[in-house]
């Protein structure tokens, strides 16, 4: 065989098709819809903090601010699957953009009600309007699933990128909201979030070439009737409880040491660990999804913050423990969402993913309440057992869809024992 010259090797490298993350963004329209979606997704991490600062600053009540944001969260959980079903039926641009306009009007109405000192009930009504916000991450994942339907390796990378983007937005969103509300005026965070959401959705929905085709009314059976989807929904709920409990317990721990303002920076380490792990996980060639392995890793790693808090009582050590604790989050969410995409009828994909987000939000609310109770009635250090218990529950429940997947592969490939 003749030796390759340097020029031959350069030519070979130039002709080799791109792989990994480079492969994603060589697809026509991918960069544009990703940029628009990231703009639209960033306010998800801004609205809650902005609303609390705006309402508490004006009305002098964190209880009222918390009740208003909790109402918006509950309304989002109810409205999300319904909006996603309409997206599947009629298309992303025809549904997501009008829904975004309703949500933006809800945010502006909340801002005006606060500024005009309107009755408290108007705050609940206005913030409930923001429940019309489409599941921006789900819309982007649906586009990747459509574009990469015949490339499972590339789809794994895309799902990992989307999870890392989620973590990045929820890490930067509160920081941006706090900066805007503290530097300019209390309503600045809500106003900026509304502008970013509308601008990003306009850019995203303008990319019609990458939009999955609508399926009309024949989109297949409800995702809840698909085998293994209900256990996945319960698993997402338990995983959400891990996030909600860890957030409240960390804040309580920091507050007990007189450093409540530092809690956001400490929690950012968990999001940073998840973001980095998501990008690394996406760069690897995927094996068969094994949810139980990811959930087991998350359960073990969630012990680290508890051990750090109990043994040292130091916020700095806790932050260092949260970094590796967050590293199991992204692989777990990517694997679970991949299973959702595989088990949900193609014509109901947005609805299926939105149901999981609803489960996640429900879990966050339950975890926050349980973690808050434990921090108040026990001790903040003892309360770190709540996210560990929630992770263990997710592991127990997650074993059901994982086992179902192995049984399905056995029935499809009875001679391929290595799949198990």
- The closest of 161, 200, 207 to 28, measured between CA atoms, is 207
What's the rounded Cα separation, in Å, for the pair 226 and 137?
22
Best CA proximity match to 299, nearest among 390, 192, 191: 390
pLDDT tens over the chain, length 420 residues = 455 555 555 544 445 567 778 889 999 999 999 999 999 999 988 888 788 888 888 888 877 887 888 788 888 888 988 999 899 899 999 999 999 999 999 999 999 999 999 999 999 999 999 999 999 999 999 999 999 988 888 888 998 899 888 888 877 887 788 788 888 988 999 999 999 999 999 999 999 999 999 887 655 677 888 888 888 899 999 998 998 888 888 878 888 888 766 777 788 888 888 888 888 888 877 666 688 889 999 999 999 999 999 998 888 999 999 999 999 888 898 888 888 888 888 778 888 888 888 888 888 888 888 888 888 888 889 989 999 999 999 999 887 655 555 555 555 444 443 332
Q: What is the pLDDT of residue 400?
A: 65
User: Cα separation of 341 and 338, whole Å?
Assistant: 5
Residue 410 is predicted with a pLDDT of: 55
Set out the domains of the chain in order of their start, with CATH numbers. Answer: 28-218 (1.20.1250.20), 223-420 (1.20.1250.20)
pLDDT of residue 414: 46
pTM listed for this prediction: 0.78
């Amino acid at each position: 065989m003749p030796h390759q010259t340097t020029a031959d090797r350069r030519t070979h490298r130039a002709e080799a098709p791109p792989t990994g993350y480079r492969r994603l963004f060589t697809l026509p329209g991918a960069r544009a819809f990703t940029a628009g979606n990231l703009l639209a997704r960033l306010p998800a991490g801004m609205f809650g903090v902005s609303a609390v600062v705006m309402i508490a600053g004006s009305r002098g009540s964190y209880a009222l601010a918390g009740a208003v944001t909790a109402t918006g969260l509950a309304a989002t959980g109810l409205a999300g699957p319904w909006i996603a079903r309409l997206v599947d039926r009629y298309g992303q641009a025809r549904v997501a953009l009008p829904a975004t306009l309703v949500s933006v009007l809800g945010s502006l109405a909340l801002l005006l009600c606060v500024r005009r000192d309107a009755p408290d009930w108007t705050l609940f009504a206005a913030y409930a309007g923001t429940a019309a916000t489409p599941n921006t991450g789900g819309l982007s994942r649906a586009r990747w699933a459509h574009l990469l339907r015949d490339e499972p390796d590339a789809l794994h990378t895309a799902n990992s990128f989307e999870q890392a983007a989620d973590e990045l937005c929820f890490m930067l969103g509160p920081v941006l909201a706090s900066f805007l509300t503290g530097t300019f005026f209390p309503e600045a965070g809500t106003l900026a979030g509304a502008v970013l959401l509308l601008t990003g959705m306009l850019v995203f929905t303008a990319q019609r070439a990458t939009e999955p085709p609508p399926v009309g009314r024949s989109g297949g059976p409800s995702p809840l009737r698909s085998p293994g989807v209900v256990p996945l929904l319960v698993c997402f709920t338990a995983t959400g409880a891990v996030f909600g409990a860890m957030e409240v317990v960390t804040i309580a721990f920091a507050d007990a040491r007189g450093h409540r303002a530092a809690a956001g920076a400490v929690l950012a380490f968990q999001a940073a660990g998840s973001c980095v792990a998501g990008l690394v996980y996406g760069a690897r060639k995927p094996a068969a999804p094994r949810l139980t392995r990811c959930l087991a890793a998350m359960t073990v790693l969630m012990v680290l913050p508890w051990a750090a808090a109990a043994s040292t009582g130091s916020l700095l050590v806790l932050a260092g423990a949260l970094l590796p604790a967050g590293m199991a989050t992204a692989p777990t969410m990517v694997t679970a969402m991949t299973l959702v995409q595989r088990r949900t009828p193609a014509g109901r994909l947005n609805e299926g993913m939105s149901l999981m987000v609803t489960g996640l939000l429900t879990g966050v609310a339950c975890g926050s309440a349980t973690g808050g109770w434990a921090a108040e009635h026990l001790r903040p250090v003892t309360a770190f057992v709540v996210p560990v218990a929630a992770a263990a529950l997710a592991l127990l429940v997650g074993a059901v869809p994982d086992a179902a997947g192995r049984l399905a592969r056995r029935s499809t490939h009875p001679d391929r024992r290595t799949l198990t």
